[in-house]
Amino acid sequence: MLLPILAVVGGLIVLVISSDRFVDGAAATARFFGMPSLLIGMVIVGFGTSAPELVVSMLAAMDGNPGLAIGNAYGSNIANIALILGLTALLNPVQVSSKILRKELPILTFVTLFSGFLLLDLELSLFDAALLLLLLALLMIWTFFNGLKKEPDALADDIERAVPKPISLRRAMLYLVFGLLFLILSSRLLVWGAVEIAQIFGVSDLIIGLTIVAVGTSLPELASSILAAKKGEHDIAIGNVIGSNLFNTTAVVGVAGAIKPFTVDSLVLSRDMVVMTILTISLFIIGYGFRKNRQGRVNRFEGAGLLIMYAIYTTVLIFTA
């Protein structure tokens, strides 16, 4: 029992550190070869900040643990809104710009509903995975052209500001190689530990994916959102959550399904997808607030409400496990 716990804890620690180094190395290498900052942010930083979820779900799918793969993605989405944004708003209320309300949040709502529609038959087929990855490509192209036109856009701003500062090519290559190596090894360790714990307690890998693994792989988003809110960078704080959820829903689930199509537990649709959709719509309503001529915001009271919702959801998971 001790060894799987150590594997999960140690795997998560190394996973967070190695993914950060991998992003720095990849971004610096791309910059050295002349790639534009916005494209670096979209392709490398965008993928890199969700690298923990992506690699864990990929390995879980390859190992024949679909519950862990999809639980990690959807559990991270639920944690991003209810836990991360809730805690961030509780510490420091988050302003929501009108651009986010008009553009990004409706897109996130659509993507969430679309992914739920694809799972109505309780199967994530190769065709479903291809549709999700195509949707991801369209979103990246849309964000990239918004950035080129210099239109105000929370995701584009978040992406460009997230590009790391330049480092030497030698250090960049070391970060890139060893970051990727330890990212894969730590993910493998985490998946093994999570599956072992699930078997010991007699619960499904879906429950472990929705709780321990989902929260653990969302730690980078938690740290960056709290730091951004404290600095008054509210667009980054909420853009980080929206961007991560879009990526998890399209890329993480899509790649896992492309590697190995799988059957989806009915609870994913009736419980987890419903909670994820409610939270996404709630975020839009909270941000809009039906307040005329006032900027939207997620205040401390609403942040506490999101945290309570996450606590109730987690309690239900534990008691129904």
In CATH, what number is assigned to the domain containing residue 176? 1.20.1420.30
Question: 149 falls in which pLDDT band (50, 70, 90)?
Answer: low
Alpha helix stretches (DSSP H) within the chain: 2-32, 37-40, 46-49, 51-62, 66-78, 86-91, 98-99, 105-118, 126-148, 154-162, 169-201, 205-208, 214-217, 219-230, 234-247, 253-259, 266-267, 273-288, 300-319
Against a cut of 0.95, is the pTM above it?
Answer: no
Residue pLDDT, tens place only, 69-95: 999 999 999 999 999 899 988 888 887
Q: What is the pLDDT of residue 100?
A: 58
What percent of the chain has pLDDT above 90?
A: 26
Its domain, for residue 168, covers 2-319
Structural tokens at position 125: 């087929």
Number of domains forming the structure of the chain? 1
**Residue pair 132/254 in contact by the 8 Å Cβ criterion:** yes
Residue pLDDT, tens place only, 16-75: 788 777 767 776 776 777 666 555 555 555 556 677 888 888 888 888 888 889 999 999
What percent of the chain has pLDDT above 70?
A: 79
Checking if the pLDDT of 163 tops 70, the result is no
